[in-house]
Structure 1
Amino acid sequence: VLDFVYEKYGRNRVAMIATLNTFAARGAIRELGKAFGLSSAELSDITKRLPWGKLGDLQKTMQKYPECRDLPLDKEPYKTIIELAYKIEGFPRHLSIHCGGVVIAPGELLDMAPLQLSAKGIAITQYDMYDIAALGLVKIDLLGQRGLSTIGDAEAFAATAAGAKIEYDYNDLTTFDMLRQGRTIGVFQIESPGLRSLLIEMQPKTLDDITLALALIRPGAAESGMKKVFLERLAGERPVEYPHQSLEPILKETLGNIIYQEQVLRVAEAMAGFSPGQADLLRKAMTKERDVKEFHAFLDKFMNQATARGVPYLKAREVFALLTKFAGYGFCKAHAATYAMLSYRAAFLKAHHPVEFMAAMLNNFAGYYAPFVYADEARRLGAKLSPPDIDKPSRLCEVDNGCLRIGLAFVKNLSAETIDKTIAERAKRPFVSLADFLARVHPGKDEAISLIRVGALDFLGETRPSLLWYMKLYGEKILRHQPEAFSLGELWAPQLQFAPGLPDYSLAEKLAAEQEILEMAISCHPTELVAESDNCTKSIELSGRQGKDVRIVGLVVDRKRIKTNGSQLMVFLTMEDSQDYFEVTVFPEIYRKFGARIFRKPILEVTGKAQNKHGVLTVIANNLRACA
């Protein structure tokens, strides 16, 4: 769509709109820390424990959040860094690109606003959307959706593997079975811990059930108590009741709850005889930014027309109060239904073409979780993961007979220029040695070392330490010369015979290199190298341990800190081992005791009780031990 806009109106009249990124707490400390010579690892250990947002009162923050209590912020150089961070907080950091904002000028855009090229080569305005509006120009939102690209790429991968176009069955038993188990990591819109748990509780059987789940998960549904009431009614713990018998046909699908915006309209039509247009005006008048005079005019009209239709005054007033409560929270059913259709397609692809789907998920850098989670899920679904390979170079991940090969784009700090040159040179002829690769592609020294460490040159038949030894011996000399300045066969071949036969990396060393450079585990799941305590439970065994004490080791993949009704902090963890993922609840007392471990250590041993509520398995933690 963006290409169409640029072509139709001309690149001299179209630009993306900039946003002005400013320094908040984490960014200010990180940038100042770099200036003070601190390493990325040191800075990450500090900043990842701080809450998002402004610095505020750090003493209160350190008292409030257990993971912040031992931060060395009163010692140098952190003390000075914090003092300076307060001074630059809120200052502009850099221009970024608005997620979808585009401006189209009636004439030359440069005559109206300054422009600059982004790192991606796209022209952006140096003004943000407010300044653009002040100039009299119109901001148009053209929002991209990576979920659509993921589905499209997965369809292409799957069609290639199957030799036929993918046809969707919207009543597929395998897909719905996967949905009912909450195995939706990577699936558009329904992969978060909250939605996976909701799917398990709801046990969806139709697209309408998925639509309902997407509406129920919205913050308004939870905050208003609507979600809780619905689930209790679904489980038979509370009777299904309707505000008035005339509303049963409208509210039956949502068990007597007003969940969709469309239901607000239909209730007003059924009870007070409003026209569809009047009902929509009523809905708008009930929003948080309501006009008091307009609101009371609608109240009077609703009451008069409802009582004229035989509805008792108190009952009409009760229904109007319900509409007022839920109108601002209700979710548009048409929107939810569209998302549900896309969610189902993604789920269908994952259920029937899991490796191809997870490759597409990685390639689009989409989703709720970090890429390593999708790589781990691909392994669990039967994929054989392999590292980037310059003998079969590709920018993105590729699938070949069940093998998912990671693309060069996942190698940290590997430039697009080096990736393109590698692909172009390999297309001409194979690389026959490290020297051949270095001379023809001319990567940066650190780029070459990273490629060696993650196994991208394993096809040469040398161990990674041997290749690093070659790199130190003559690789840096090659990179200091122009490629055409020497003959590889004559100049460098004699030195190769003196290379020692160095043993290869251990599995732990390979895993460490992969996690550092690719930010994912290729050789094995990280928990497989952890020495477990006696009687440890595996994730797939939790269902048989309901109500019992368990000890389980897992990698933390998501943390969600919330406040209880008593305003105390607690944490929900999503964790995984090599076989499955599982949820852990950390109540306030345990969080206060072990909070630092939760946010600093990736692998934890959790001791607690396995609980099953409405089919959702959770470990209620009473102890957390850091494993790595």
Structure 2
Amino acid sequence: MASYRPKSALRDVGKALDLDKTTLDVLAKGTSSWELDLTDDLVTEAGLNKDSLLVKQLRTLTEQLLGFPRHLGQHTGGFVLTSGPLSRLVPIENASMPDRTVIQWDKDDLDLMGLLKVDVLALGMLTALRKTLDLIGQRKGHVFEMQDIPSEDPVTYKMICKADTVGTFQVESRAQMSMLPRHRPQRFYDLVVQVAIVRPGPIQGGSVHPYLERRNGTVPVTYPSPEIEKALGRTLGVPLFQEQCMQLAILCAGFTPGEADGLRRAMAAWRRTGSLNKYEPRIIGGMVDRGYTEDFARNVFEQMKGFSSYGFPESHAASFAILVYASCWAKCHYPAEFLCGLLNSQPMGFYSASQLVQDAQRHQVEVRPPDVLSSEWDCTMENIEHQPAVRLGLRMVDGFKKDVADRIVRARDEAYFESAEELARLAELEHQDMRQLAGADALRSLSGHRRQQVWDAAALRRPPMLLRQAPVDEPVLELRAAPEGEEVTWDYRTLGLTLRSHPMKLLRPKLDERRFVTASQLMRRRNGIAASFCGIVTLRQRPETAKGVVFVSLEDETGNVQVIVWPSVRDAQPKELLRSRLLAVHGQWQRAGDACSLIARKLEDLTPMLGDLETASRDFR
């Protein structure tokens, strides 16, 4: 059951109060995804009177709606299996998707009734890996599949330890990337642990730091008893998996396997039902009876409560670790094919297409722009015999349709286009199609620079059937090319990325005047030094386990910087934190080995410097 959060509650209440879309956009963009902060300044900026009855109703009703059910969630791969017709056992209704039905019960209802539910996990990375491996096979000249990936590759693990994992599976998030240089995975089981340890369960259960301290040798590995070692030996005496909690209950508290499974179910449902509390006397009493201290037993139970906040089963973590290793190996050894597979599988993951392309370029991957004479619908590989390059597909053009791209490819196979007019005529393109291609700079090989493309496309209309094959002979009007800043702005508007200069490179002279360092310069700074950095906001995140801390990812022409914003700074400068697209951070550089971050002391909104450039961040809880 999906519940109302600040932005969704604000928009729905605003619609009910008949606020126009422009006003709602200002209000929604000015508030965070994790808490309602409808300030007087924001209300005034939206053109509303902060003391009006309308605003009072908006604030009150939005507050009341938070947490209420908004709509039914649907597991895309959830199946209920029965021996007879399902409709005789549970109520069924039509889903919003055509030819899809859902039952009206949730998983707890099914469990109570003893019905079998199977969840087939849909992962975008499975699609991306399949496409990547197909491309690797084309380059090698034979079929290449998952089982052909070499195991325990040292070069891949070296890349992982550096947190060079943008675009990979699971270990691409900010939290995972900050953990990798400290954990330093060296073998497959380390990846199993890595997947499981950056979860609310181990974090709230207090398992993360003890595990890292034992792994790094700063704290000796000890076990209070042989039973504890049997259950926790593979994770250095620290519980990280649900199965280990069950083992502890059996070996140390006298649970039967059936009772331990009941404990597992209670852990999964504790946040909703509180049923885990009934096991507290049994666990603590059972451990005390077997010679453990009450403090130790109580600590074990608190860790189990922590696991109820989404701890991973070991089997699940191991399955995920297979995809972690496969995606990291592909990124390490075949970065061009990996980028191509990712772009053809969007939307997925933490990163936008722009960030994925920039990361690939920093790994010396050549990326070529979309072009009507070369591009397919999907992104493709070129020059695979020598230095592979990625050709962006027409799917990257904002709003462009696949059937139109297919017509271009078919017409191109039958005849060579010598002009934009021939392309429009032979591929039967509409005026809107040509405008989209010109705006995305995809007619360059036919019309030259973008301004010329837009001019040529503006004059083209689909002729009537009688004149469809008749060429149009008109004198050519030659226009001047646009400056690079205008080209970059259009790239972002039509493709969501640019292969020209990064916007921050164009702003660098002005930023140098204010002594803002680049990401690459910052990475060479020592721990504890004061620093000022400015970058485009690509991600904001406030995890529930972070006690109000907000993490922000900033990007410039040389790389990315992770910023930590403490609650005091967040509360003092909410507008700068939540609404800036170009954010300057003045603070202290923090590094521990390869784990680096900038601790914010003061924030500054420099968004006006971007002009007409359209950028967007991905904000997560």
Residues 336-347 of structure 1: pairs in structure 2 closer than 5 A: 336-347=317-328
Q: 1:505 to 1:94 in 2, by over 3 A?
A: farther
- Give 1:193 shift: 0.2
Residues 366-445 of structure 1: pairs in structure 2 closer than 5 A: 366-401=348-383, 402-445=388-431
CA–CA separation in structure 2 for the residues paired with 1:521 and 1:34: 39
Letter of the structure 2 residue corresponding to residue 123 of structure 1:
D
Q: Which sits farther off after the overlay, 403-412 or 237-246?
A: 237-246
Equivalent of residue 512 in structure 2, options 511, 533, 537: 533
2:587 aligned with 1:619: no
CA–CA separation in structure 1 for the residues paired with 2:225 and 2:292: 10
- Give 1:332 shift: 0.7
Q: 1:612 to 1:131 in 2, by over 3 A?
A: closer
Per-residue displacement from partner, 1:333-375 (whole Å, max 9, x unpaired)? 1110111111001000000001110111111112122222112
Per-residue displacement from partner, 1:367-413 (whole Å, max 9, x unpaired)? 12222211221221222222221112322211213322222122222
Instruction: Give the % identical residues.
Output: 24
Letter of the structure 1 residue corresponding to residue 132 of structure 2:
A
- Give 1:249 shift: 4.2
Query: Are the equivalent residues in 2 in contact too, given 1:20–1:128 (CA < 8 A)?
Result: no
- Give 1:621 shift: 2.4
- Give 1:538 shift: 2.7
Letter of the structure 2 residue corresponding to residue 541 of structure 1:
Q
2:308 aligned with 1:328: yes
CA–CA separation in structure 1 for the residues paired with 2:369 and 2:261: 55
Residues 131-530 of structure 1: pairs in structure 2 closer than 5 A: 141-164=119-142, 165=144, 167-235=148-216, 238=219, 240-244=221-225, 246-272=227-253, 276-284=257-265, 288=270, 289=273, 295=279, 298-299=282-283, 302=286, 307=290, 311=291, 314=294, 317-318=297-298, 321=301, 324-325=304-305, 328=308, 330-365=311-346, 366-401=348-383, 402-472=388-458, 474-475=459-460, 478-479=461-462, 481-489=463-471, 492-493=472-473, 495=474, 497=475, 499-530=476-507
Q: 1:488 to 1:589 in 2, by over 3 A?
A: farther
Partner secondary structure for residue 144 of structure 1 = coil
Q: 1:597 to 1:140 in 2, by over 3 A?
A: same
Equivalent of residue 581 in structure 2, options 579, 602, 609: 602
Q: 1:348 to 1:317 in 2, by over 3 A?
A: closer
Gaps of 5+ in 2: 611-621
Q: 1:239 to 1:26 in 2, by over 3 A?
A: farther
Q: 1:486 to 1:80 in 2, by over 3 A?
A: farther
Q: 1:294 to 1:161 in 2, by over 3 A?
A: same
- Give 1:582 shift: 2.0
CA–CA separation in structure 2 for the residues paired with 1:611 and 1:52: 27
CA–CA separation in structure 2 for the residues paired with 1:621 and 1:300: 43
Letter of the structure 1 residue corresponding to residue 490 of structure 2:
A
Q: 1:596 to 1:533 in 2, by over 3 A?
A: farther
- Give 1:611 shift: 1.0
TM-score normalised by L of structure 1: 0.79
Query: Are the equivalent residues in 2 in contact too, given 1:574–1:582 (CA < 8 A)?
Result: yes
The answer for the alignment partner of 2:570 in structure 1 is: 591
Q: Which sits farther off after the overlay, 161-170 or 544-553?
A: 161-170
The answer for the alignment partner of 2:524 in structure 1 is: 544
CA–CA separation in structure 1 for the residues paired with 2:337 and 2:53: 50
Letter of the structure 2 residue corresponding to residue 392 of structure 1:
S
Per-residue displacement from partner, 1:103-149 (whole Å, max 9, x unpaired)? 8998899xx9786895xxx5234x66449999x99986444211111
The answer for the alignment partner of 2:29 in structure 1 is: 48
Letter of the structure 1 residue corresponding to residue 432 of structure 2:
D
CA–CA separation in structure 1 for the residues paired with 2:575 and 2:373: 44
Q: 1:271 to 1:113 in 2, by over 3 A?
A: closer
Higher relative contact order (CA 8 A, sep 6+): 1
CA–CA separation in structure 2 for the residues paired with 1:380 and 1:533: 22
The answer for the alignment partner of 1:124 in structure 2 is: 100
Q: 1:563 to 1:211 in 2, by over 3 A?
A: closer
CA–CA separation in structure 2 for the residues paired with 1:117 and 1:591: 39
CA–CA separation in structure 2 for the residues paired with 1:35 and 1:488: 52
Per-residue displacement from partner, 1:23-77 (whole Å, max 9, x unpaired)? 9336548979999474xxx8655433323489xxx6x5327xx9x576425259x
- Give 1:470 shift: 2.5
- Give 1:519 shift: 1.4
Q: 1:190 to 1:281 in 2, by over 3 A?
A: same
Per-residue displacement from partner, 1:289-340 (whole Å, max 9, x unpaired)? 4658973785498359x53xxx357488557635654553542111101111
Q: 1:181 to 1:19 in 2, by over 3 A?
A: closer
Partner secondary structure for residue 31 of structure 2 = coil
- Give 1:520 shift: 1.7
Q: 1:177 to 1:29 in 2, by over 3 A?
A: farther
- Give 1:235 shift: 4.6
Partner secondary structure for residue 39 of structure 2 = helix
Gaps of 5+ in 1: 1-17
The answer for the alignment partner of 2:618 in structure 1 is: none
Partner secondary structure for residue 447 of structure 1 = helix
Query: Are the equivalent residues in 2 in contact too, given 1:19–1:128 (CA < 8 A)?
Result: no
CA–CA separation in structure 1 for the residues paired with 2:72 and 2:292: 59
CA–CA separation in structure 2 for the residues paired with 1:129 and 1:200: 45
How well do the aligned residues superpose, as a CA RMSD in angstroms? 4.2
CA–CA separation in structure 2 for the residues paired with 1:438 and 1:269: 72
Letter of the structure 1 residue corresponding to residue 485 of structure 2:
A
Q: 1:588 to 1:502 in 2, by over 3 A?
A: same
Q: 1:316 to 1:279 in 2, by over 3 A?
A: farther
Letter of the structure 1 residue corresponding to residue 563 of structure 2:
V
Q: How many residues align?
A: 578
